[in-house]
Amino acid sequence: MENEKLQQLKNLLGEVWDISMAAAVLGWDQETYMPPGGSKARGIQLSTLSRIAHTKFTSPKIGELLSELEPEAANWDPDSDEARLVKVTRRDYDKATKVPSDFVAEMTRVASEAQVAWREAKEKSDFSKFEPYLARIVELRRQYADFFAPYEHVYDPLLDDFEPGLKTADVQRIFEALRPQQVALIKAIAEKPQVDDSFLHQPYDEKKQWDFGVEVITKFGFDWKRGRQDKSAHPFTTSFSVNDVRITTRIVPDFLGTGLFGTMHECGHALYEQRVDPALERTPLGHGASLAIHESQSRLWENLVGRSRPFWEHFYPRLQEYFPAQLGNVDLETFYKGINKVEPSLIRTEADEATYNLHIMLRLELEIALMEGSVEVKDLPEVWNEKMREYLGVTPPDDAHGVLQDIHWSMGALGYFSTYALGNLISAQWWERMHEDIPNLDEQIRAGNFADLLGWLREHIHRHGAKFEPQELVKRVTGSGIDPAPYMRYLKTKYGEIYNL
């Protein structure tokens, strides 16, 4: 089906991709090895590259090629790579041409400087050091939304960047169905005797934590010839190519959970990026479908696999070999219950599965309020603490454990947070479908064999890259759109058994 116009389009899109990937390398370096003094220059460099990429992508030539190809594409197989490329590029092009290149450059520069300010503010637990940067980011994000007016809700254009096709009202509806069920479950658990997880909170050698995590994700299928792992203040995954996918982790010397489950989580993202069809590379299809689909992968490997009993029936003896003094006298059942302890906590990334989504709902409400103007940036620490008390019954002792704990706002990523909770829901939908297709999946995991699991994900999700919008992809695989019911079934079954509900 290859024709000259399609090839021209691919060549132009490939150049945009290359510039964006070069910027991604600089972004990865900024979060891992760059000395703090480099932040101002790095902000300018990233700003220049983002402006060039945006200018190239919004060029009239790409618009002309799309207009010439669309009549032809109407006759192609609608699920073919070529037809989807034209469709997705048109969607992205129409969005991008509404946003001036100078605005993109300014947003990138401000976000780059804000990330450095956020790190310092978090270190000193002082929101005032970050406040002016965040105020500017909120101002820019409102300006960004205005490029897409009229809209149903000011938050819609931001959400669409991360979840194409999803509306604020859709997410609110899903969360409203979910919230009372999760709150009821947490309340039921709170009335039962608490499980013991004290063994997780003691000194664990950092190198051994790292090595065990590497052993686990190697078995999952992480390809070290096409990826690497480093350390960062906030774990993340970035991809420069299907053949170069980077993950980072954060290891806490006196708590086992952070590094271990963070490593599994980021590996889930990386397994996705490493298995996108290489034919989609250097086009807008050459990455994950959306942030929620991405989170469904990371949360699946971290929680549905990594916190499951079959997984630990295989790996726990090995972990005990690494840490005989800490875990030698802790039996498997105690360990399994300990890593699945439900307790309202301050930090989102360390929250258990039953309370995690409440952390997300809190952030979504704050983002919407910031965009609507009903909450001012200066009042965020106070409002954050109020909502933590209301939702989880805990009060942050300081800004570092409260409003400053996440990097996302410093990156300008308002619109992002709901994707975490949506990813949880989708992961349970995949999980139910996967068990129908692979009836002995639990036995395979118990044997430390993840090949069929990874093969299923590659076939149904990974290889398609961004060909399908998230809701469309979920429906193709499971038969329904994003649905909270499988996730609640999963939580009630798992915690019903752990806490004798």
Residue the block writes with tokens 């989504």: 357
DSSP 236: -
pLDDT one-digit tens code per residue, 451-485: 999 999 999 999 999 999 999 999 999 999 999 99
pLDDT one-digit tens code per residue, 318-368: 999 999 999 999 999 999 999 999 999 999 988 999 999 999 999 999 999
248 three-class SS: strand
Q: From CA 168, how far away is CA 151, in angstroms rounded?
A: 11
Q: From CA 177, how far away is CA 170, in angstroms rounded?
A: 11
**What is the value of pTM for the model shown?**
0.93
The answer to whether the CB of 17 falls within 8 A of the CB of 283 is yes
CB neighbour list of residue 53: distance below 8 Å, 6 or more residues apart: 16, 19, 20, 23
Which residues form the catalytic set?
266
Span 419-427, average pLDDT:
96
247 three-class SS: strand
Length of the chain equals 501
The 3-state secondary structure of 286-330 reads CCCCCHHHHHHHHHHHHHHHCCCHHHHHHHHHHHHHHCHHHHCCC
Mean pLDDT of the chain: 96
Q: Nearest to residue 273, comparing CAs of 231, 296, 242, 310? A: 242
Check residue 350 and give its pLDDT.
Answer: 83
pLDDT one-digit tens code per residue, 428-447: 999 999 999 999 999 999 99
CA end-to-end span of the chain = 58
Check residue 233 and give its pLDDT.
Answer: 85
Q: How many CA atoms lie within 13 A of 450 on its CB side?
A: 22
157 band by pLDDT with thresholds 50, 70 and 90: very high
Span 376-402, average pLDDT:
96
Neighbours of 447 (CB within 10 A): 12
pLDDT one-digit tens code per residue, 200-259: 999 999 999 999 999 999 999 999 999 999 999 889 999 999 999 999 999 999 999 999
Span 489-498, average pLDDT:
97
| Residue 244 burial by Cβ neighbours in a 10 Å radius (0-12, 13-18, 19+) | middle
Please name each of the domains of the chain with its CATH number.
4-150 (no CATH), 168-499 (1.10.1370.30)
Residue 61, by phi and psi: left (phi above 0), alpha (psi -120 to 50) or beta? Answer: alpha
The enclosing H or E element of 231 equals strand 227-231
Q: Nearest to residue 134, comparing CAs of 390, 406, 418? A: 406
CA angle 209-215-426, nearest 5°? 95
The answer to whether the CB of 316 falls within 8 A of the CB of 333 is no
The enclosing H or E element of 237 equals strand 237-241
In single-letter form, the type of residue at position 109 comes to R
Q: From CA 492, how far away is CA 484, in angstroms rounded?
A: 12
Q: How many CA atoms lie within 13 A of 319 on its CB side?
A: 23
Check residue 349 and give its pLDDT.
Answer: 84
For the cut 60, the answer to whether the pLDDT of residue 55 exceeds it is yes
For the cut 60, the answer to whether the pLDDT of residue 88 exceeds it is yes
Which structure tokens are listed for 371?
A: 């965009």
pLDDT one-digit tens code per residue, 124-155: 999 999 999 999 999 999 999 999 999 999 99
CA distances 306 to 132, 256, 437, Å, are 40, 14, 20
2 band by pLDDT with thresholds 50, 70 and 90: low
Number of H helices, E strands in the chain: 21, 3
Residue the block writes with tokens 């290489």: 278
pLDDT one-digit tens code per residue, 8-39: 999 999 999 999 999 999 999 999 999 989 98
Q: From CA 97, how far away is CA 103, in angstroms rounded?
A: 12
The answer to whether the CB of 167 falls within 8 A of the CB of 152 is yes
Q: From CA 230, how far away is CA 102, in angstroms rounded?
A: 33
pLDDT one-digit tens code per residue, 183-193: 999 999 999 99
